[in-house]
Amino acid sequence: MQRHTQTTWNDTESEGYEPLLSEKDLTTVSPDDSTLPDHLTRDSIELPELSEPEIARHYTRLSQMNYGIDSGIYPLGSCTMKYNPKFTEDIAALPSASIHPDRDTETSQGTLEIYHELQQYLGKIGGMDAVTLQPPAGAAGELTGILVAKSYHEYNGEGEQRDEIIVPASAHGTNFASAAMAGYDVVELPANDNGRVDVEALSAAVSDSTAALMLTNPNTLGLFERDIEQIASIVHDAGGLLYYDGANLNALLGRARPGDMGFDIMHYNVHKTFATPHGGGGPGAGPIGVQDELEKFLPSPHVTVSDDDGEDKYELIEPGESIGKVHGSMGNWLVLLKTHAYISRLGDAGLTDASAKAVVNANYLASQIDLEIPFGPFHHEFVASAGDRDAADFAKEMLDFGVHPPTTKWPEIVSEALMTEPTEAENKESLDQLAHAFNSVHDLDESEFDGAPNSTAAKRIDQTVAARNPVLDWQSIETEEDGGGE
Amino acid sequence: MQQSNPIPDGTTEQSTSEGSPYAANDDARVKSMLDEIGVADVEELFDIPESIRFEGEFGIDDATEQEVKREVGETLSKNADIVEFLGRGYYSHYVPSLVDHLSLRSEFITSYTQYQPEISQGFLQVLFEYQSIVSELTGMDIANCSMYDAATSLGEAVTLAHRVRDASGSEVLIPDYVREEHVEVVKNYTQGVDIEVKRLQTPDGMIDPETLEQTLNDETLLVYVENPTAEGVIEEHLTDVGELLAERETLFCVGSDLVALSLLQDPGEVGADVVVGNGAVLGLPKSYGMNMGIFACRDDFLRQIPGRLVGSSEDTDGNRAYTLTLQTREQHIRRERATSNICSNQAWVALRAAIHAVSLGPEGLVSLADQCAEFPEQLAEKIDSIEGVSAPVHDAYHFRDFKAELDTDATEVASELSEKGFAVHDLDEQTIQISVTEQNQHMTTEFATALAEVME
């Protein structure tokens, strides 16, 4: 069975790990010959002064101690770690893509055309009437969407009164945090026994204080909220808006659209659904789509097109009741450009196929593993239970099988949760390898867990110790060693 | 299924009518997997009520890789081919090829947040080193792994101030030279807290300590100062501002960027509490405004800082190892009481900025920054000799940008310059702003000639 083994380095003085840049060199430079007078300059800076080959080797070695999608299966539930096409990087590297954001519209028609086309694409895919691309991440999209809802209620004279956002207990942590940042009280909604929204509890929770309900569909268990139309009526009848968290949109492409389910606002996680690289934690982008009546609240500027003597002319406008800005300029443009390229490459047929194969992969994988999966039928992801073992320990054991483990211990509705999303990128063989890892660890008793991982660049790392005595830069390591005297 | 189109390029590349080119399983394997699952057709797996099934089409045509590249390239070429003398917080410095080649190593770019540190040591060390570089340049005790951009970093600094200051204050002082767009972001970031943004007048293009002292009161939560300002002025009163604020329950926030910080006064030395700004002046070109926010502060605020932090620890063999740390501040644990809602950040841009910083080294950084101080002075002198142009507007040292006053309509001048192939900012009726770095310095003579022609 193929497996990914990580590299360690023993040819340096630091055994087993790549020394820090600061351990290779630190040079102090003072700007003595500066054009500026002394009192406006700093005394000195102290940083590594290394040759290009030394730098190339440093980062290449570090990359070899890192696991990416191209290394192997990466089934983090809710993160949609699908393959990132390489050609989109070439497009993002075009010099014509990197113009200054303050150019006038006349000299930036190319960028604006792509920007506008992506707004249109996303609108069609989500069933939304208008889309802004400005939010630079999914969480930023949530904040933007909630601010749109807030402006809508204020516009209708109900801003003061509607001060609550309802969020299901199993929602992403960002939903709670974004609602709070927008100034709302968060009302937590319990799930029913089937792992879905408890419609009765929702009816009891809504009131004339409700500003919106935030929901992802399929939910974090991979289950479709079959009562979505009823849920929408309950929220709308109470005067609230329905917000769609796009984290799980990869399950639905071409099968269902949030706009058709009754959602008023949604965000798209383009780094999930549309395969832009996750980059070790970002950048992503979190465009939002809204229904007609909310368009006037979108962030400024908004890109529109008009007819100029038979030619398309792209313009920047400020929507009538705009919430203002959520990013300093136009968002994570290079990420948006890659999104546009991915959607253009796949078209209807490719997008529809991506979801089909993502859902087949999740269901096939589930059929091959021996762990309990309490809730179904699921779509692009499922949540298995590690049973009486600690899910985090279970995941560490899986690392020794050369795979990236699933998301652990969340959502809490499944005890010792292993939230698994293989995506359409995986072939049957790699799904079998992941199933082998699941089942082999499942066959072990917790007492047989052997302090895994043992085949990785670093052995098990104690995160509690790191938090108790935080060392956050190389300067602190030096101080520690100087002060420690050992 | 749509018909496969003949491929115009004469290549053998597949269209996507057979499905996504990035999905691994072919029809035969899908069939065998469906058998294992126990369903006859893929659509049976979708548990979606009939009433909301989408039966339509998006109407988006698929295309080959070659076609997409060509079409996007053609569309982008509709951007006018002009030389930008644009700045105001968004800059390009030459990004060495090394940065592209290393940052595109797929182990880096295709990974995600380091939830499993044992197989993510490489990126964690990169981010630890990035934090170290930012700490060094800002003079702050701690730096996080990145925010979205300079504007959202400033927004986060204001909410941090609200969390850490006991004072009942609600006033945030932001100088009038700060970009309006950034102030709007601050207003949106602070909807959950009771904050009022007040603009501080700076007729000389920099803080006047007397005006500041008169404006300060018990309500002042935070004072923001840029160095250099969005208008390119190097702030001369940082020490005074630091001294004024040291006595008060008011946070001192400095906005800058990683190149400027290599040369200009160390914010840590002048008493800053928080440093924010654009980190992507290293690592990325202007990129239509996409950048990366730096966020650094004093260690008093360790448990209140927004965003991700990488710490050094040990593994069970006793070797040094890195891990995300202090995560109880973050949204996935603390939910509505988190220090921020940020999840995905700009880690890959931080990686690029770190490689770029190391490629330059301390010598290279200081000399790049010194050019940024030298070039605007030279260009201002050159255009000041043009009839009807007075530059720079502010009697100060400048960094990359400066303003010029015209005896005629600025919009018209900017528009005529554009026709001659040069872009500048037109700020108000008779003021333009010009930005010069090593990227456009070789065109300054042509630019000055064009401006002289326009002014005739």
Give residue-wise pLDDT tens across range A404-413.
999 999 999 9
Q: What is the mean pLDDT of residues A424-449?
A: 95
Pair of tokens at residue B39: 């369903």
For B251, the enclosing helix (H) or strand (E) is: strand B251-257
Average pLDDT of every residue of chain B:
95
Q: What pLDDT, on the 0 to 100 scale, is given for residue B2? A: 42
Q: How many CA atoms, within 13 angstroms, populate the side-chain half-sphere of residue A330?
A: 28
For A146, the enclosing helix (H) or strand (E) is: helix A138-155
Eight-class DSSP state of A292: G
Eight-class DSSP state of A446: G
Burial B79-94 (b: 16+ CB within 10 A, else e): bbebbbbbbbbbbbbe
Q: What is the mean pLDDT of residues A49-75?
A: 96
Q: What pLDDT, on the 0 to 100 scale, is given for residue B15? A: 57
Average pLDDT of every residue of chain A:
94
- Is A68 in contact with B110 (CB distance < 8 Å)? yes
* Tens digits of residue pLDDT in B411-456: 999 999 999 999 999 999 999 999 999 999 999 999 999 999 999 9
- Is B149 in contact with A135 (CB distance < 8 Å)? no
For A:115-144, CB contacts with B below 8 A are 121, 124-125, 127, 136-140, 142-143
Rounded to the nearest 5°, which phi and psi values hold at A234? -60, -45
One-letter amino acid at B267 equals P
Q: What pLDDT, on the 0 to 100 scale, is given for residue A463? A: 83
* Tens digits of residue pLDDT in B222-237: 999 999 999 999 999 9
Q: Is the pLDDT of residue B167 over 90?
A: no
Q: What pLDDT, on the 0 to 100 scale, is given for residue B3? A: 42
| Angle between helices A333-368 and B27-37 in degrees, nearest 10 | 50
DSSP 3-state assignment of A245? strand
Model confidence at A351, pLDDT cuts 50, 70, 90, reads very high
Q: Is the pLDDT of residue A100 over 90?
A: yes
- A297 at interface of B, judged by CB pairs closer than 8 A: no
Is A21 in contact with B358 (Cβ distance < 8 A)? yes
Q: What is the mean pLDDT of residues A224-247?
A: 98
Pair of tokens at residue B286: 């202007």
Q: Count of residues for chain A?
A: 486
Model confidence at A136, pLDDT cuts 50, 70, 90, reads very high
Is B365 in contact with A55 (Cβ distance < 8 A)? no
Give the Å distances, CA to CA, from A194 to A164, A366, A412, B99, B376.
26, 18, 14, 50, 66
| Chain A neighbors of B414, CB-CB under 8 A | 104
Q: Is the pLDDT of residue A483 over 50?
A: no
- B444 at interface of A, judged by CB pairs closer than 8 A: no
- A12 at interface of B, judged by CB pairs closer than 8 A: no
CA angle, A65 as apex, A59 and A67 as ends, to 5°? Answer: 110
Q: What is the mean pLDDT of residues A73-92?
A: 97
Model confidence at B8, pLDDT cuts 50, 70, 90, reads very low
- Please state which of the ranges A84-98, A239-253, A463-477, B25-39 shows the lowest mean pLDDT: A463-477
* Tens digits of residue pLDDT in B194-228: 899 999 999 999 999 999 999 999 999 999 999 99
Backbone region of residue B221 per phi and psi (left: phi > 0; alpha: psi in -120 to 50; beta: other values): alpha
CA angle, A235 as apex, B55 and A148 as ends, to 5°? Answer: 85
* Tens digits of residue pLDDT in A116-127: 999 999 999 999
Instruction: Centre a 10 Å sphere on the Cβ of residue B247 and count the other Cβ atoms it contains.
Output: 8
Q: Is the pLDDT of residue A305 over 70?
A: yes
Rounded to the nearest 5°, which phi and psi values hold at B57? -125, 155
Q: What is the mean pLDDT of residues A470-485?
A: 73
Give the Å distances, CA to CA, from B21 to A343, B6, B17, B236, B291.
12, 17, 9, 57, 31
Q: Is the pLDDT of residue B11 over 70?
A: no
Its ipTM equals 0.97
Q: Is the pLDDT of residue B374 over 60?
A: yes
CA A173 to chain centre: 12
Give the Å distances, CA to CA, from B439 to A255, A296, B89, B91, B345.
49, 39, 15, 9, 28
* Tens digits of residue pLDDT in B375-387: 999 999 999 999 9
Q: What pLDDT, on the 0 to 100 scale, is given for residue A11? A: 64
Model confidence at B56, pLDDT cuts 50, 70, 90, reads very high
Q: Which residues share a beta bridge with B315?
A: A461
Q: What is the mean pLDDT of residues B303-327?
A: 94
CA angle, A95 as apex, A92 and A96 as ends, to 5°? Answer: 90
Q: What pLDDT, on the 0 to 100 scale, is given for residue B13? A: 59
From the CA of A415, how many Å to the nearest CA of chain B? 17
| Chain A neighbors of B236, CB-CB under 8 A | 40
CA angle, A270 as apex, A368 and A332 as ends, to 5°? Answer: 145
Quote the CA–CA distance of B270 and A423 in Å, as a whole number: 51
Backbone region of residue B92 per phi and psi (left: phi > 0; alpha: psi in -120 to 50; beta: other values): beta
Pair of tokens at residue A446: 């917790």
| Chain B residue at shortest CA distance from A424 | B23
Is B52 in contact with A261 (Cβ distance < 8 A)? yes
Q: What is the mean pLDDT of residues A353-364?
A: 98
Quote the CA–CA distance of A315 and B396 in Å, as a whole number: 37
- Please state which of the ranges A444-458, B113-127, B128-142, B392-406 shows the lowest mean pLDDT: A444-458
